[in-house]
Structure 1
Amino acid sequence: MGQLVSIVVPNHNGARTLPQCLSALSAQTHPDLEVIVSDDGSTDDSVAVARAHGAHVVATGVNGGCGVARNAGRARARGDVIFYVDSDVALAPDAVATAVRILEAEPDTGAVCGIQDPEPLVEPTLIAQYRGLQYHYWSLSSQGTVSFLFPSLCAIPAKVHDEIGGFNPRLKQTEEVDFGHRLSRHYRLRLTPEVRGKHAHDRRLKVLLRKLFHRARLRIPLYARSRHFATGFETRERAWASLAAAASIPAFAAAFAGPWGLLAPGLLIAASIAGDRGMYGFVRQQRGPAFTVFFAGVHYLVNLTIVVGAVAGVTQWTTSRAFRRLYEQPATP
């Protein structure tokens, strides 16, 4: 008999995508599974959907965030391996079996995280298509050893999880960065395209930008303490690309000096694109030149949002002692 895998599905008002998520779990090739839906204060039909699919349901009672929900599910889990999958993700049929195989073959690996397909799970709006391609490429280019968790689909041996502790319940948006930071001090954290799934990405630009703003802002206290970026998405080239995009805004003032005044902002935007040229080449190959132009426009706004979020985080870090200590509290076991 193989290892028992406890699949923990943190959920808040996910009734729209939870059926696809749970159906994909029923189709897994790994034979020994228990499925736990950790409901984080949903007000929709999520709990009824989960029970109709035969999942165990754990309720947090309040909307405490993904970290709180994952901790509640972990407390109920009996498996040798804990596999986290978000309620808006549908795993490929071999995802669990592949993750277990990798963990068995690599004892020094403390977590195996998968990569989301470029196509959105449902309702592929233009923004969802942008996010699917962007997130897929950034994940694919980061494959290998990383230092923060990709918790939308990842497997962790239960004994490693117990050693590292749980997710910090005080954190929202960055609990996975904190968890991965702690885990990667002792174990390898692996990101691989061998473990796959489809994700229902954000459908509206406003929602996506708000999320990215707060993720950039809330990373500042952790990076200020560790004095380096996490290994993964945050490459030096992408940081410069974001700064170049932000610098193009004041440079547009030079346009009042005449046509040559557009040269400076144009060069900065070109530098921003060059900082992640592999991504734009990938998008052009997948979707053609017209969509690539749209993609570049959205990503320009994303770069601006990241810089504004980082500036807000630095400002808050310099003025708030509580913000500077955001990551000092130990996670709840």
Structure 2
Amino acid sequence: MTEQRSAAPSRSLTVSVVIPVKDDADALGCCLRALSLQTKAPDEVIVVDNGSEDESAQVAADAGATVVRCEAPGIPAASACGYDRATTDIVLRLDADCVPGSGWVQIMRQAFAAEPHVAVFTGGARFVDGPRMLRTPLAAAYLGSYVLAGVAASGTCPCSAPTWDSGVRLGSVCALRCTWMPPCTTTSIWRSISAILTASAT
């Protein structure tokens, strides 16, 4: 009689959320409260303090986030600092003034699990302040600029995660795969980008 073994269950992808911030304590507090209400909590939340003079770092620490200080000015430098600190399979990126819906982390985890060869997801958002009639066209113009920049840089259109629009409101969002699950053997997309940037700076 042959012994039949059931396949081992696949490991759930681990998730970090990286939030760069500078002098935006009130908005950061709202963002972190929204993350605390996720249907599936992230494995770690990393707030990168980019030289704040307000209570942003303390708000992050009080919420249980890992606080990282980045002295180099600017959102790109602060984001990169957070990506370097992340220890998970996936990194989700939020601005401090983003308000993620309660299913956002789980939606992104499922999107990466369903598309094992996809390295980066981006998607839509909607503004929640300003004149109501202008929110949709302003969001389209704001996010369209990111798409055009991405197409110009990579020669291809960024991948959109399914139902992303129901998951996040206001701000810049993206998601990077930091480790690959079999059968993929490609290196981390962020590690590859970081190595190129480091080499070009020397």
TM-score (norm 2): 0.69
Q: Which residues in structure 2 correspond to 1:30-179 (within 5 Å)?
A: 30-62=40-72, 64-118=73-127, 120=128, 124-126=129-131, 129=132, 132-137=135-140, 148=146, 177=149
Q: Give me the whole-angstrom Cα distance separating, in 1, the residues matched to 2:153 and 2:55.
A: 35
SS in structure 1 of the partner of residue 83 of structure 2? helix
Contact kept? 2:19, 2:47, Cα under 8 Å = yes
Q: Give me the whole-angstrom Cα distance separating, in 1, the residues matched to 2:126 and 2:111.
A: 20
> Residue 18 of structure 2 corresponds to which residue in structure 1?
8
Change (3 A) 1:31 1:48: closer
Contact kept? 2:35, 2:41, Cα under 8 Å = no
Q: Deviations over 1:203-243 (max 9, x none)?
A: xxxxxxxxxxxxxxxxxxxxxxxxxxxxxxxxxxxxxxxxx
Q: Give me the whole-angstrom Cα distance separating, in 1, the residues matched to 2:35 and 2:93.
A: 11
Please list every run of at least 4 consecutive aligned residues from structure 1 whose deviation after the TM superposition is greater than 6 angstroms.
none
Q: Give me the whole-angstrom Cα distance separating, in 2, the residues matched to 1:48 and 1:135.
A: 32
SS in structure 2 of the partner of residue 49 of structure 1? helix
Q: Give me the whole-angstrom Cα distance separating, in 2, the residues matched to 1:97 and 1:27.
A: 12
Structure 1 portions without partners, runs of 5+: 150-175, 202-329
Q: Give me the whole-angstrom Cα distance separating, in 1, the residues matched to 2:33 and 2:12.
A: 22
Q: 2:170 aligns with which of 177, 184, 199?
A: 199
How many angstroms does 1:134 deviate by? 1.4
SS in structure 2 of the partner of residue 331 of structure 1? helix
User: Superposition RMSD on alpha carbons, in Å?
Assistant: 3.1
Q: Give me the whole-angstrom Cα distance separating, in 1, the residues matched to 2:123 and 2:24.
A: 21
How many angstroms does 1:50 deviate by? 0.5
Q: Give me the whole-angstrom Cα distance separating, in 1, the residues matched to 2:159 and 2:111.
A: 10
Counterpart residue identity of residue 71, structure 1: A
> Residue 190 of structure 1 corresponds to which residue in structure 2?
159
Contact kept? 1:109, 1:189, Cα under 8 Å = no
Structure 2 portions without partners, runs of 5+: 1-10, 173-195
Counterpart residue identity of residue 159, structure 2: R
How many angstroms does 1:12 deviate by? 1.1
Change (3 A) 1:200 1:107: closer
SS in structure 2 of the partner of residue 9 of structure 1? strand
Q: Give me the whole-angstrom Cα distance separating, in 2, the residues matched to 1:4 and 1:179.
A: 28
Q: Give me the whole-angstrom Cα distance separating, in 1, the residues matched to 2:152 and 2:19.
A: 19
Q: Give me the whole-angstrom Cα distance separating, in 1, the residues matched to 2:43 and 2:95.
A: 16
Change (3 A) 1:192 1:75: closer
Of structures 1 and 2, the one with the larger relative CO (CA 8 A, separation 6+) is 2
Contact kept? 1:7, 1:84, Cα under 8 Å = yes
Q: Deviations over 1:135-164 (max 9, x none)?
A: 444589x7xxxx956xxxxxxxxxxxxxxx
SS in structure 1 of the partner of residue 48 of structure 2? strand
How many angstroms does 1:191 deviate by? 2.5
Change (3 A) 1:135 1:125: closer
Counterpart residue identity of residue 133, structure 1: T
Counterpart residue identity of residue 168, structure 2: G
- Structure of larger gyration radius: 1
Change (3 A) 1:16 1:193: farther
Q: Deviations over 1:235-283 (max 9, x none)?
A: xxxxxxxxxxxxxxxxxxxxxxxxxxxxxxxxxxxxxxxxxxxxxxxxx
